[in-house]
Chains A and B, each alone.
Chain A
Amino acid sequence: MTRAVILVRRRLVGSIFVLLIVVIGTFLLLEAAPGDAVDAYIVSTGGDAGMIELLRHRWGLDQTELTRLANYLWALLHLDLGQSVTFSRPIRDVILERLPNTLLLMGSATALSFGLGSALGIYAGARPGSFRDRFLSVGSLALYAVPGFWLGLVLIIVFAVDLRWFPIGGIESIASARTGLDRAADIARHLVLPVSALGFIYLALYLRMMRAGMAEVWRQDFVLAARARGLSRRRIVLAHVARNALLPLVTMLGLQSAQMLGGSVVIESVFSVPGLGRLAQEAVAARDTPLLLGIILISAVLVVIINLLVDIAYAFLDPRVGASEAGA
């Protein structure tokens, strides 16, 4: 337990610096964007030059860059991301409303790509160099070459337009007044296609990593020892080779999370899933830069949290991690 605590403490300090850099980056982008909050406000309400002057002064926009950055940081510390002009609501509330859908989509897609990817990787890596190994390697590469949004469209054409098995988009049936399990089943049905589109793309990554990891482990002495002990091939593959090759994949889960979030932007817009990614696209369309940068900030925080969780999981799975610090 102490190992995990030490690990988290060390990572937290680093994460704060990283997030600070991200905040400065978004601030610079916000400054680079044409127009400021007052311009956006005046466009929606109307007002004369005197009013603009007054608002700029009141919102602190007539101060130096450093003061504005300090104000921005101060507001963020109070979890205030500013006001969205498009939605006429606090950005924080808009984002929090969309976040669960994205987390659900990402979580399911990650489970799909990790589960199926590592399983197929074990299947391929069990007999390195065999036909099925080569076939799965090239096949997964082909899958990895597919643009997620296009796979989404193809799935829509086949399974929603032609076969009518699944709904064409959205997160649940509109005005269906379903509750409980019924509603969960409805949402699940809506998520099948987007989760497949997002999950299948990244499946290749886990498959190839698992396969490559197993190829390394096969050469190690303890595998030879296991063979000498007369264990069945099945047992050697699962309990000795695959198990030792699985650990790096867990790290990949964390590293992959940022890419998954980016991928969900296009997938959500293809399937009209009202999540963070679709919100980002709406922000772009409405030229709502503060909202877009708010989404980026929240995504960065999300990625940091996911990586922290992965590190903790890793510490539990691998007793060597952090052992030296805990002993010292």
Chain B
Amino acid sequence: MSPLRRFLRTPEAIAGAVILTALAAVALAAPLFFPSDPQAIAGPALLSPFQDWSLPLGTDRLGRDVLAELFHGARTSLAVGLAAAATALAVGAVIGTLAGFAGGLVDEVLMRITDAFQTVPAFLLALAFVSIVGPSLGVVVAAIALGAWTGPARVARAEVLSIRERDFVAGARVIGMHPLEIALREVLPNALPPVLALSSVIVAAAILTEAALSFLGLGDPNRVTWGGMIAEGRAVLRTAPFLSIVPGIALVLTVLGVYLAGEGVVETAAVRKSLS
């Protein structure tokens, strides 16, 4: 069986793949369907959904097109989630590899720093970082990565500890490669698979953190975010609960899609391992 067929064996994995594909399509198509600024006023304020076919999901408190906001919000959510997770995985893998490969004092110091980052609630750290540096897309990505790299670092270190005793590492030493080059070019790529297995959990957590930050008003003010839409709708929670509920459902579906697809990938990898 090809890996793709194997991946699509369980209904959970299929559901995850469908959700993520649809989401990617929505994110990519947002500027095509809604080329104008989603934060611009498009009609009367607080128009209920399914009333006007040019504004299918109605408008928010300020008369902005809810559907356009949802589409553009998907872009922000996915972009921030993926960028933050990639940053966290890369930083974590490098730090974990260096700690595991160097051993001794370097390992001790790096692992205590990792402990320290795990002791501080990640969300509070992100909150403090964004509020001090100022909200922009890059800062939000960095703030989320700041609280998410510790898991990958620990996994990478554990993996490197078993890899560094292997023959090919000894071989690299014998031919006189610089230890840093051995660590990053020889050991790191081999330690990656278990680190990458964490990616779905980290992407999901990053999307949720971004949503919570923008819910508290710490997202990039120039972008539509689902968290920001929920916060906007909160002001009219009694009269138009719809405005907070819909972006929330989009968030749940997205995160669920990431989890389900991630489980599918892990199961596929497990099957491959047991076959070989």
Contacts and interface: CB of A to CB of B under 8 A. Distances in A.
Interface of A: 14, 17-19, 21-22, 25, 29, 32-34, 138, 141-142, 144-150, 153-154, 156-157, 161, 255, 258-259, 261-263, 265-266, 269, 280-281, 284-285, 287, 289, 292-293, 295-296, 299-300, 303-304
Contact of A33 (B122, B132, B204, B251): B132
B238 A161 contact: yes
Contacts of B115: 14, 17-18, 21
A163 B245 CA distance: 17
B120 A145 contact: no
Contacts of B121: 258-259, 261-262, 265, 296, 299, 303
A150 B248 contact: yes
Given A29-B132, A141-B259, A22 B127 contact: no
A153 B119 contact: no
25 contacts: A18-B112, A138-B12, A141-B259, A145-B253, A147-B211, A147-B248, A147-B252, A149-B212, A149-B230, A154-B248, A157-B237, A161-B241, A259-B122, A261-B124, A262-B121, A265-B127, A266-B215, A284-B218, A287-B131, A292-B127, A293-B128, A296-B120, A299-B121, A300-B116, A300-B119
Contacts of A296: 120-121, 124-125, 128
Given A149-B211, A303-B120, 18 more contacts: A29-B128, A144-B259, A145-B252, A145-B253, A146-B252, A149-B227, A150-B230, A150-B244, A154-B245, A262-B124, A265-B124, A266-B123, A266-B212, A280-B127, A281-B127, A284-B127, A284-B218, A295-B124
B70 to A, nearest CB: 14
B217 to A, nearest CB: 8
Interface in B118-155: 118-125, 127-129, 131-133
B216 A145 contact: no
B255 interface: yes
Candidate in B113, B208, B227 with the most chain A CB atoms within 10 angstroms: B208
